[in-house]
Amino acid sequence: MKRILTGALAVLMLAGCQGNGGPAEEPSGSNMQSIISEGTPESREDFAGEPVPMLSGISEPEVEKVLLRIRQSSKRLLTHSDEGFSDVLAGVQALQVDPDSMRQVPPQTKLEHPVQVRITFQDGQRYDLSINEEQLLIFEKGDDHAALYQTAQPFYKEWVLQQIGDEMCGDDWEAGKPVIYLYPEQPTDVSVRLDYQGKFTYTYPAYNDGWQVTAYPDGRLVNKADGSEHYYLFWEGSGQFDWDFSSGFCVPGPETEGFLRKVLPQTGLLPREYNDFITYWVPRMQHNRYNLIHFAGEPYERIAPLTVTPSPDAILRVHMVYRSLASPVELPPQTFEPFERNGFTVVEWGGSSIRAKSD
């Protein structure tokens, strides 16, 4: 069996995590302003940041609790009796934005890869903040719109993650739309098992401890469990892993589509496959200032081993790992081995969007 995996193994070191995996040191209220201003790239100095009036005017006695969250399993709830409560509020009050960038957006607007801060007041009023490297979204409970700003402090997201604690040490990543195509030479009953080392968030058709299908040469699949017809097996999941960014590509967000159209054929994907890849991922990447992209190989194989029975003659697994960047970086480009489709061929493509403390 010929198995092709794009990429190589390395370790991504995360800023903000101590060597023993413990939480980063929390800043004190007295130096909050300087701490969340450090590390702001020069590219962000094209406007003068100003505090957000509705945040800078918060009175601490009026606040009942503050919830910091990156996902359901990584969150921190603070009340007046908790150490760090005043520091967190001071950090919220010190957050600065470009005041001229403010616009009203629908309340259901969502940011990509945000951290979330919920401030609940004693009188029941509530502010919901979503923050990423580029934007701040504020929604006040009961309003018919939210306020969207460009932030002056991309480092603020990292500071929130530090406040959450050691649950965030390691990359929090989401595997988005890996799809598996089966191309046998004749109609074949096939068993597909994915021993994923994270948590499945969705599979289609239902995984049920493995997929059992009849596969046809044109890629059509018939699920034995319910007779439904498909053209690929779909799964999504989430977990934590240290990804390799020692090689790859740094691509301006608006140029992502053109980059993928050029590179994906080099990995061995056919037009039907890489066009599906592009239409899924580009809308999630094109609005980032830059995308740091790596095509994972052995590390991905270890966390998502794939077993197909009967054994295929060739397997291609293309898994893109990316994170958004505020400024460009230089790194050696990846190259790809030629892939030849012989006999029973299995193809998988997918991607992981990284939410790391160093984001």
316-346, pLDDT tens digit by residue? 999 999 988 888 999 999 999 999 999 999 9
155 φ/ψ sector (left φ>0, alpha ψ -120 to 50, else beta): alpha
pLDDT above 50 for 171: no
- Least trusted range by pLDDT, from 47-51, 142-146, 211-215, 349-353: 47-51
- Higher pLDDT: 107 or 344? It is 344
The proportion of the chain whose per-residue pLDDT surpasses 70, expressed as a percent, equals 77
Of the chain, the percentage scoring pLDDT greater than 90 comes to 46
- pLDDT at residue 163 in the model: 61
216 or 83: which leads in pLDDT: 216
Task: Give the pLDDT band of residue 162 (cuts 50, 70, 90).
Answer: low
Q: In whole numbers, what is the pLDDT of the chain averaged over residues?
A: 80
Q: Is the dihedral of CA 295, 283, 202, 109 positive or negative?
A: positive
Q: How confident is the model at residue 158 (pLDDT cuts 50, 70, 90)?
A: low
Distance (Å, whole) CA 356 – CA 359: 5
Predicted local confidence at residue 236, as pLDDT? 86
CA distance 2 to 342: 9
Higher pLDDT, 303 or 211: 211
| CB proximity list for 57: less than 8 A, separation 6 or greater | none
CA 121 to mean position of chain CA atoms = 31
The larger pLDDT score, comparing residue 316 to residue 355, is at: 316
Query: According to the model, what pLDDT value does residue 60 have?
Result: 92
What's the pLDDT at 277? 93
Query: What confidence score (pLDDT) does residue 69 get?
Result: 82
How high is the pLDDT of residue 191?
98
Amino acid of residue 30: S
In this prediction, residue 344 carries a pLDDT of 98
Instruction: Report the distance separating Cα 141 and Cα 99, nearest Å.
Output: 22
Q: Is it the case that residue 67 has pLDDT exceeding 70?
A: yes
Please say if the pLDDT value at position 157 is more than 70.
Answer: no
Model pLDDT for residues 238-275, shown as the tens digit of each residue: 776 777 788 999 999 999 999 999 999 999 999 999 99
User: Considering the entire predicted model, what is its pTM?
Assistant: 0.55
Q: 195: how many CB neighbours lie within 10 A of its CB?
A: 10
- Residue 341 confidence (pLDDT): 95
